[in-house]
Each structure stands twice: as C-alpha cells, then as structure tokens.
Amino acid sequence: MKTTVADLMTPDVETLNADEDLVLADALMRMHRVRHLPVVRGERLVGLVTHRDLLRAQAKLLTDVPGDGEDRVVSLAAADLMTADVQTVTPETPAAEAAAMLLTQKIGCLPVTREGELVGIVTEHDFLRWSLKQLRDE
C-alpha cells in the first residue's frame, strides 16, 4: 500500500483569514510553533504566509522608519503579504510525489486541499516524523 499525503498531513491547521493582521500571524506562529499559515476566506485557501514572509516584512518596515523617531504602528493584512499562487496537493497525492515537490521547489509545506477547500497541511516536519517512525520500525 502506497503512503499518501493523508497518512502524513496535519488535518487541524492553524489558519489566518485574509483580512487579519500580520501581528496575529506572528502570535499564532509563536503560540502554535509553526512556520506556515494558510490564508483562507471561509474554508477556501487563498494564500500562504510563512515565517520568512514575516521576517521580510519586518525588515522592510525597519528600513522605512521615519527619520524623526516618530512611533508608528503599521498594520498589514495577510492578503497584503501572502503568496497567492500556492502549490497544493490533495489527500490522495502519493507521499513520494509531495516530498519531491518540497525538494525540487525548495518549499517547506504544501497545503492540502479538496476542491479548493483547505483540509490539511503537509510539512517537512511531517516527513521527518514519518521517516523517524520508519527507521525505528526497521
């Protein structure tokens, strides 16, 4: 029996609504110890915000600070920063195919969708956990 994405994925995914603030994204990532947040409108996947995206946004904001030392709070919505054209897989996708996608595209996760609706996420960590189990079973 071939291993599929459904065998590895995390079904209960922390998400961010497209209009929610990136401050919330940072808080969710810290609280749940994740590096990827699918961005949704309802149940539909519309993008992805990564920890790297947040770091890039913070660096940009630091370089845009006014010279007079004025304090300011900048609010960006997830939709303003997210990657909209996200590669996805289905639960039925063979795990080997998903792993190859992660490696060749140098990405850390693949949202798992069914007819455009988010049903999970599969990450490098999920593959590492599965590999460790396989090695222990040898």
Which CATH code is given to the segment(s) 5-137?
A: 3.10.580.10
Confidence of residue 5 (pLDDT cuts 50, 70, 90): very high
Tens-place pLDDT, residues 10-57 = 999 999 999 998 889 999 999 999 999 999 998 899 999 999 988 888
pLDDT at 76: 79
Tens-place pLDDT, residues 84-129 = 999 999 999 999 999 999 999 999 999 999 998 999 999 999 999 9
This prediction has a pTM of 0.84
* Strands across the sheet containing 36-41: 16-17, 36-41, 44-50, 117-123, 109-114
- The answer on pLDDT for 61 being more than 80 is no
Which residue is it, tokens 């904001």? 61
pLDDT at 62: 67
Q: Where are the domains of the chain?
A: 5-137
Tell me the mean pLDDT in the region 71-76.
57
| Cβ atoms of 46 and 82 closer than 8 Å | yes
| Cβ atoms of 122 and 48 closer than 8 Å | no
- The answer on pLDDT for 8 being more than 70 is yes
